Structure 1
Amino acid sequence: MLACSLSLAVAEEPSPERSIEQIPRGRIDPALIPTAYAGTESFRFDVSYTGGLKLGELHMELSRLEERPDAFQIHSRVTTEDGLFSAIYPIEDVHLTKVAGPQRLPYYYEVWQKEGFSYEAHRITKYDQKRGRIAYWHNDKPAEIYEVGGGIQNEFSSFFASRIMPLEPGQPFIVSTFADHQRNEVVVMVRTREQLEETLFDTVDTVVVEPIMKFSGLYDKRGDTVIWYTDDECRVPVLVNSKLLIGSLTAKLVAYHNPACPQYDNTVLEKYQKQYPNHTPRP
Structure 2
Amino acid sequence: MHMNSDDTVRNILCRTPFLKRKRTDSSAIRVRLRMVSGILFLFLFGFSIAHAEPFKVPEKFIYDLTWAGIKAGTASLELTNDGDRVKIVSTAQSAPWVSFFYTVDDRIESILSHNPAFSSIGQPVQYRIKIREGSHRRDKEVVFDRNSNKAIYRDYLKNEKKEFDVPPSVFDPISSFYYLRTLTLTVGEPVYVTIFDSKKVWNVEVQVLRREKITLPTGTFNTIVVKPNMKSEGIFYRKGEIFIWLTDDGKHIPVQLQTKVAVGHITATLVKGIY
User: Which of the five TM-score ranges fits, normalised by the shorter chain?
Assistant: 0.7 to 0.9
Does residue 80 of the first structure (1) align with residue 94 of the second (2)? yes
Q: 2: distance between equivalents of 1:27 and 1:223?
A: 21
Match of 2:199 in 1: 181
Q: What amino acid is the match of 2:94?
A: T
Q: 2: distance between equivalents of 1:218 and 1:129?
A: 25
Q: Return the offset for 1:28.
A: 7.5
The unaligned stretches of length 5 or more in structure 1 are: 11-25, 259-283
Q: 1: distance between equivalents of 2:225 and 2:235?
A: 24
Q: 1: distance between equivalents of 2:217 and 2:239?
A: 27
Q: Return the offset for 1:111.
A: 2.1
Q: Runs of 4 or more off by more than 4 Å in structure 1?
A: none
Per-residue CA deviations over 1:8-66 (Å, capped at 9, x if unaligned) read: 469xxxxxxxxxxxxxxx9984x522xx2x221111111111x2121111111100121
Match of 2:66 in 1: 48
Three-state SS of the structure 2 residue aligned to 1:239 is: strand
Aligned-residue sequence identity (percent) comes to 26
Q: Return the offset for 1:236.
A: 1.1
Q: Return the offset for 1:218.
A: 5.1
Residues 37 and 94, structure 2, Cα contact 8 Å, conserved in 1: no
Match of 1:154 in 2: 172
Q: What amino acid is the match of 1:217?
A: G
Residues 229 and 236, structure 2, Cα contact 8 Å, conserved in 1: no
Which of residues 213, 216, 226 in structure 1 aligns to 2:243? 226
Match of 2:9 in 1: none
Which of residues 11, 16, 32 in structure 1 aligns to 2:53? 32
Per-residue CA deviations over 1:243-265 (Å, capped at 9, x if unaligned) read: 2243221111111112xxxxxxx
Which of residues 145, 156, 171 in structure 1 aligns to 2:163? 145
Cα distance change, pair 219–206 in 1 and its aligned pair in 2 (3 A)? closer
Match of 1:171 in 2: 189
Q: What amino acid is the match of 2:194?
A: S
Per-residue CA deviations over 1:77-110 (Å, capped at 9, x if unaligned) read: 111144x311100011111111232323311011
TM-score normalised by the chain length of structure 1: 0.75
Q: Return the offset for 1:173.
A: 1.2
Does residue 99 of the first structure (1) align with residue 99 of the second (2)? no
Three-state SS of the structure 1 residue aligned to 2:98 is: coil
Three-state SS of the structure 2 residue aligned to 1:85 is: helix
Which of residues 144, 153, 157 in structure 2 aligns to 1:127? 144
Aligned residues: 232
Q: 2: distance between equivalents of 1:62 and 1:165?
A: 18
Which of residues 59, 67, 72 in structure 1 aligns to 2:76? 59
Three-state SS of the structure 2 residue aligned to 1:143 is: strand
Cα distance change, pair 245–210 in 1 and its aligned pair in 2 (3 A)? same
Q: What amino acid is the match of 1:249?
A: I
Cα distance change, pair 230–206 in 1 and its aligned pair in 2 (3 A)? same
Does residue 212 of the first structure (1) align with residue 229 of the second (2)? yes
Cα distance change, pair 216–3 in 1 and its aligned pair in 2 (3 A)? farther
RMSD value over aligned CA atoms?
2.2
Q: What amino acid is the match of 2:224?
A: V
Match of 1:267 in 2: none
Three-state SS of the structure 2 residue aligned to 1:165 is: coil
Does residue 2 of the first structure (1) align with residue 16 of the second (2)? no
Q: 1: distance between equivalents of 2:174 and 2:66?
A: 21
TM-score normalised by the chain length of structure 2: 0.77
